[in-house]
Amino acid sequence: MVGRLRDGVRDDVLRDRLRPGVLVPVLLVVVLVLLVVAGALLGERAGAVGRAAVGDTGPVLVGAELPGDGSAGPPAVVLSPSAAAHPRSTAVRDLVQRWVDARNAGDLAAYRATLVPGTRVDPAVFAEQARTQRVGSVVVRRIDPVAGGELVVPLGFVTTQDPAVAPADVRVPRLCWQVSAVVTQDRDQVRLVDPRPGSQLRTPC
């Protein structure tokens, strides 16, 4: 008699667990977990295929081999053969070199002197970034003339920094960059225009 009562209670509990109101949420949770796991696996596989196809994206963005010691590399600006063939290559290289040197030295006045007058620079942000950030492995990849006498200058470079001052979406100690800089003539000097939306790519490296 006791055994039959236990069996009856167990059957009632099982029926309660298998009621649609209980079973459906459990099944939904299981399906969601399976979808998340499958998505993660597919994403990892896609990333691996992409890396196999184009190689490490860091050197691709910079246009140079990365320093093996984890540093940003030398600060000297290098011209690619394509950039060196442009008649304004020396002026552009010198401008970019002053921009790099000012960032590495934390020299706000020198940094402003490389930019178009009126460009807004937050002194506190500049000082905080300059405290740990170093720029190196700089390559001027091309110099392309556009309308209005401006030059579009794709730059590749590496930065190292305290992750706390890295961009919010990539808090890492080293980044590889490709920036489509714009150079314009300001009276008798060439200067850099404030970066335009979508003109910068970066990746941990």
How would you write the pLDDT of the chain (205 residues) with one tens digit per residue? 444 434 444 455 445 544 555 444 444 444 344 433 333 333 333 333 333 333 456 777 777 788 999 999 999 999 999 999 999 999 999 999 999 999 999 999 999 999 999 999 999 999 999 999 999 999 999 999 998 889 999 999 999 999 998 988 999 999 999 999 999 988 888 999 987 777 888 999 9
77 and 45, same structural domain?
no
50 and 131, same structural domain?
no
CA atoms within 13 Å, Cβ hemisphere of 202: 18
- Cβ 71 vs Cβ 134: under 8 Å: yes
106 and 199, same structural domain?
yes
CA R_g for the chain: 28
Q: Which CATH number do you get for residue 90?
A: 3.10.450.50
112 and 21, same structural domain?
no
Report the alpha-carbon distance of residue 105 to residue 126 in Å, rounded: 11
Report the alpha-carbon distance of residue 70 to residue 173 in Å, rounded: 9
**Tokens read off for 17:** 């667990």
72 and 50, same structural domain?
no
The whole model's pTM is what? 0.71
Angle at 70 between CA 65 and CA 73, to 5 degrees: 55
**pLDDT value, residue 188:** 83
**E strand or H helix that includes residue 186:** strand 174-186
95 and 123, same structural domain?
yes
27 and 118, same structural domain?
no
- DSSP annotation of 174 reads E
Can you give the residue range of the structural domain that contains 35? 2-54
Map residue 14 onto helix, strand or coil: helix
Cβ-Cβ contacts under 8 Å for 122 (sequence gap 6 or more): none
Among residues 54, 81, 97, the one where a domain terminates is 54
**pLDDT value, residue 34:** 43
Beta bridge partners of 204: 175
Residue 160's alpha-carbon distances to 12, 89, 182, in angstroms, are 65, 27, 23
**pLDDT value, residue 43:** 35
**pLDDT value, residue 147:** 84
Domain count, the chain: 2
**pLDDT value, residue 77:** 97
**Tokens read off for 190:** 């060439």
